[in-house]
Chains A and B, each alone.
Chain A
Amino acid sequence: MNMAILFYTSNHAFRAEKLLKERGIACKLVPVPRHLSSECGVCLRIEAAQQEEAQELLKNAKVEIAGTHGE
């Protein structure tokens, strides 16, 4: 199963992508699905199994998450 991590700005999404990839966590930037948010921009798709690790990493790096959503 995949998870979408949503951000307040794509600037944070790009930062998150870099940090997750450096840690070896597979992720992909995809457009934010319209039903999740009316924001323009991108969110990060990751494996649900790595959600906790990813969230911990982003929290420590002060990259704020706007929400997560199971796909």
Chain B
Amino acid sequence: MPKSRPIYLDNAATSWPKPPAVGAAIARTLEHIGGNPGRSGHRLSIAAGRLVDSTREAVAEIFHAADPLRVVFGANGTEALNLALCGLPRPGDHVITSSMEHNSVMRPLRQLEREGVELTVIPCAPTSVLEPSQVEAAIRHNTRLIVLTHASNVVGTLLPIAEVGRCARKHNLLLLVDAAATAGAVPIDMERDGIDLLAFTGHKSLLGPTGTGGLVIGERVDILQMYPLKRGGTGSHSSSEEQPQFLPDRFESGTLNVLGLAGLEAGIRWVLERGVDAIHARHQELLRLFLGGLAEIRGVRLHGLCDPAGQVATISFNIERISPSEAGFILDEEFNIQSRIGLHCAPAAHRSIGTFPDGTIRFAPGIFTTNEDVLYALDAVRQIAGRAG
């Protein structure tokens, strides 16, 4: 019998459910905080402005960023990555990245390559582990930026951000980190980890709604040398037809998603209350249950590191003699289990782990996944594998 409630294991795509406080904050904002932040002097505009500011503060707190004004909001992680990638390297510059990147990094970089930016993609091991010394060895005289995902969205492996951060500082390079898979799930400290630019999405482990995200810009970044992705109204310097030169306005044209930010703040506060460390520990517990259980099922082939200490709660696997798409359909249709199958917008990562072009089945439990959910999902995989065998 399929469960009557969904067993949602697609938290790496977007987290669900959200803490009740998230929906409540959005509803409260919709009903009571109607103004456009930073555009007018009346109380409803001021209330919206304060809300945006306190959301900046929450973001700065969770990433240990010193200055909330260096938090720039945007539509999602992809927009934040595009802002940094399209804003910083110039033709003739060299950029280093890894083979585990999502297309939100790879596609802007391939476009930059056509425009004259040199690119090195460091190959990762099939377990998706990146060797920091390979990054250092790839540095050239014209290297300007290192771009790395904090964790693979396909197999969950954590990349050695702090080591690469130290290397970037040593060579006076900037490090841009894609924290889509880790923000809210793994402790991040921009200063300690040597991160100059942190791109985050609001709707995954920060537990906010879709349509939220941003870029936290460290002190080492010269913002006057960074092009805005969008130009337009900011509510400031209205007499000028030139884009402002200060943060966050320089990179924040257009009315912000105030409702989304209200939900994002509630999500981050929920995470901070429980503690990122405690959430990380729970994710590791879920990983141990899933990895241990899947490894015992005949016909299941696990990918990546398969070590809870070195990865986030994302598990990729295949079932022998059944395609990921068919398995995913059966999981949803017969068992009411939501997973994600295919290439997960990361073809280079699947080439690295040897699962291109068929892809994998991906289970990504979340903070609301119970141990009983895990056992139910493992039993479903066992049944499907048994039938296929």
Contacts and interface: CB of A to CB of B under 8 A. Distances in A.
B244 interface: yes
B239 A9 contact: no
A9 B54 contact: no
Interface in A29-44: 29-32, 38-42
A39 B238 contact: yes
A21 B38 CA distance: 19
B368 interface: no
A40 B235 contact: yes
A38 B69 contact: no
Interface in A43-64: 61-64
Given A11-B248, A14-B50, A29-B41, 11 more contacts: A9-B244, A9-B246, A10-B38, A11-B49, A11-B252, A12-B246, A14-B52, A17-B50, A32-B41, A38-B239, A61-B67
A9 B46 contact: no
A8 B236 contact: yes
B41 A18 contact: no
A19 B83 CA distance: 29
B40 interface: yes
A69 interface: no
Nearest to B48: A14
Which one of B46, B56, B67, B68 has the greatest number of beta carbons of chain A within 10 Å? B46
B58 to A, nearest CB: 12
Contact of A14 (B41, B49, B238): B49
Interface residues of B, number: 28
Contact of A39 (B37, B49, B68, B237): B237
B336 interface: no
A7 B290 CA distance: 53
B249 interface: yes
A41 B53 contact: no
Contacts of A40: 39-41, 235-236, 238
Given A62-B69, A64-B246, A41 B41 contact: yes
A23 interface: no
Among A8, A9, A13, A31, max chain B CB count under 10 A is at: A9
B57 interface: yes
7 contacts: A11-B236, A15-B56, A18-B54, A38-B238, A38-B239, A40-B235, A41-B41
Contacts of B239: 38-39
Nearest to B46: A29
Interface size on A, as a range, is 20 to 34
Contact of B236 (A17, A30, A41): A41
B38 A41 contact: yes
B69 A12 contact: yes
Contact of B69 (A29, A32, A41, A63): A63
A17 B42 CA distance: 15
Nearest to A18: B53
7 nearest A-B residue pairs (beta carbon):
A31-B41, A9-B236, A14-B53, A10-B38, A14-B49, A9-B249, A42-B41
A7 B248 CA distance: 13
Nearest to B37: A10
B59 to A, nearest CB: 13
B222 to A, nearest CB: 15
Contacts of A38: 238-239
B234 interface: yes
A19 B8 CA distance: 41
Contacts of B42: 31
Nearest to B250: A9
B330 to A, nearest CB: 50
B205 to A, nearest CB: 26
A31 B52 CA distance: 18
A1 B114 CA distance: 61
Contacts of B57: 18
Given A9-B249, A42-B41, A15 B236 contact: no
